[in-house]
Amino acid sequence: MFNKVERLISLRNLRPKKKEGFLKVISIFSFLGIMLGVAILIIVMSVMNGFKTDLTKKILGLNPHIIVESNSFKIDNEFIENLKKKFNHINISKTYSGEGIIVSNDNAKGIIIKGVDLNNKESLNFLKKNISEGKLNEFKRNTVFIGAELAFDLNLQIGDKVNLMSSSFIATPIGSFPKQETLIITGIFNTGFYEFDQNFVFLNLSDSLSIFDKEEDDQNLEIYLKDPMKADSFKSEIQKLNQNYFVYSWSDLNKSFFSALKVERNVMFIILTLILIVAAFNIISGLTILIKNKTKEIAILKTLGLSNNSIKKSFFLTGFTIGFFATITGIFFGIIFALNIEKIRIILSQVFNFEIFPSDVYFLEQLPSEINFYSVLIIFIFSLTISALASYLPVMTISKMKTFRALKYE
C-alpha cells in the first residue's frame, strides 16, 4: 500500500526540525486530543453499559418477570391451571400490594406494602438474597421485613413494633378510619437500591390481604421465568389465554427508565464524538502548515520523478500515523481506566472530600463498568475514519501546488 520511499518521507515529516517547533506542538496536541477523546468515549460507554447491566440485574432481583392483574383483583383458578399446563417450567406466585403508611413512635412515612406467598420459594428468594439482619424463618404471620434505609430513617431495629395503615377504611360509630395492623419487625433487607430500600415493606400474604380488607381470592399473579429476557414473548402468549386480564413484563414496567438511559447514552456518544472531530482539525491544520513549509522539498521530489500520488500518500501517512497511534493509546488507557473506575472514584472522593456517584441519586452503591468490545471496535473504526478524512483533505492541495515557483525563487 505504501512503498519504502513514501514511508521514509512520512517518518521524516513526523520528526520536524528545530525551526519547525510549532508543527511539533500541533502534532502533540493532535495526538493528545484524539487519545483523550477515544479514552473518554470508552470510559463513558463502559460506565453506561455497566450502569444498564447492573440496574437490569437489580430490577430483575426486585421485580417479578411478568405480572398478571385483573380489574376485579380476582384471578380465576381456571386461568392459573391453564398457565401451568401450557408453561410447565414457569413459577407462579400469588401476591397483593398497595400503598400505605408505616408509623413508629412519632415518625411516619408513606410506603408500598407487599404481601408474599410463604409457600412459594421464588417469592421468598428475594428476601433470602438480600436479608441483612434477622432470619428468613422468622418471616411469619404478624411480622414484617423492612428496608435498611427505611429502618435508618425511622430509627427501627429487629424486635420493634410498628403500625401499618392501608388505604382501606373501616367504618366506626364516630367515622371512618384507615385500617391498620400492629406487626413486629423480624428482618431488615438491603438491596443496594436506595429508593427500594426506603419505600418497600414485605409481610405475609394473609396479613397483606387483611390490612387492605381483601378476600383470599383478591390477588394478582407474579410469574418468574428461567430466562427473564424472554418475558415479552411469554407475555404475548399469556395474554392470549385471557384478554380481560392485564399482563405486564418487567421491561414494560421500566420502559421509560430504559428509554431515558438509551437517550442519555446516545447523547453522550454524540457529544464525545465532537471532541474527536475537534481534535481531528488539529491534524488538518498541522498537515496544511507542514505541506506549505515543505513546498521546496515537494518540488524537489517531483523533479526527481516522484509522482503526485506518492507524495500525497506520504503526507497522508503522516497524519494517519498520528491518528492511528493516538487511537491505540486512547483505547489502552480507556480500558485500563474503565476496569479500575471504582477504585479511581474512591480515591477522587477521598482526595476532594466529595462523594462522587451518590447512591441516593443513582440507586447503586458503586460505579459500574462493563467493557463491550463491540463498542470498542466501533470507536476504533470511527476514530480511524475521522483521522483518515482529516489526513486526506490537506494532501489534496499538493496536486494544485505551483512547485516550479518554489524552485525558481529559492
Instruction: Give CA–CA dist 297/212, Å, rounded.
Output: 89
Indicate the residue type of 19: K
Look-up of cell digits 500518500: 313
DSSP state of 74: B
Instruction: Report the pLDDT value the prediction gives residue 377, as an integer from 0 to 100.
Output: 92
Cβ-contact 113, 100 below 8 angstroms: yes
Rg (CA), the chain: 33
b/e per residue 223-233 (b: at least 16 CB within 10 A): bbbeebeebee
- Residue ranges of the chain whose pLDDT lies below 50: 406, 409-410
Instruction: Give CA–CA dist 55/58, Å, rounded.
Output: 5
**CA 218 → CA 16, 111, 209, distances in Å?**
82, 21, 8
Which helix (H) or strand (E) covers residue 246, if one does? strand 246-249
Instruction: Report the pLDDT value the prediction gives residue 328, as an integer from 0 to 100.
Output: 94
Instruction: Give CA–CA dist 168/279, Å, rounded.
Output: 63
Instruction: Report the pLDDT value the prediction gives residue 16, as an integer from 0 to 100.
Output: 62
Instruction: Give CA–CA dist 107/163, Å, rounded.
Output: 11
- DSSP 3-state of 96: strand
| Nearest CA among 292, 301, 294, 291 for reference residue 391 | 291
Instruction: Give CA–CA dist 32/322, Å, rounded.
Output: 10
Output the DSSP codes for 115-165. Answer: EE-TT-HHHHHHHHHHEEEE-GGG--TTEEEEEHHHHHHTT--TT-EEEEE
Look-up of cell digits 399482563: 247
Instruction: Report the pLDDT value the prediction gives residue 279, as an integer from 0 to 100.
Output: 77
Output the DSSP codes for 339-350. Answer: HTHHHHHHHHHH
User: Is this structure's pTM higher than 0.85?
Assistant: no
H runs (alpha helix) in 63-103: 77-86
Instruction: Report the pLDDT value the prediction gives residue 316, as an integer from 0 to 100.
Output: 81
Instruction: Report the pLDDT value the prediction gives residue 409, as an integer from 0 to 100.
Output: 45
Instruction: Give CA–CA dist 150/130, Å, rounded.
Output: 15
Which helix (H) or strand (E) covers residue 249, if one does? strand 246-249
Instruction: Give CA–CA dist 208/224, Å, rounded.
Output: 21
Cβ-contact 150, 187 below 8 angstroms: no
Instruction: Report the pLDDT value the prediction gives residue 184, as an integer from 0 to 100.
Output: 92
Instruction: Give CA–CA dist 372/386, Å, rounded.
Output: 21
Instruction: Report the pLDDT value the prediction gives residue 296, as an integer from 0 to 100.
Output: 73
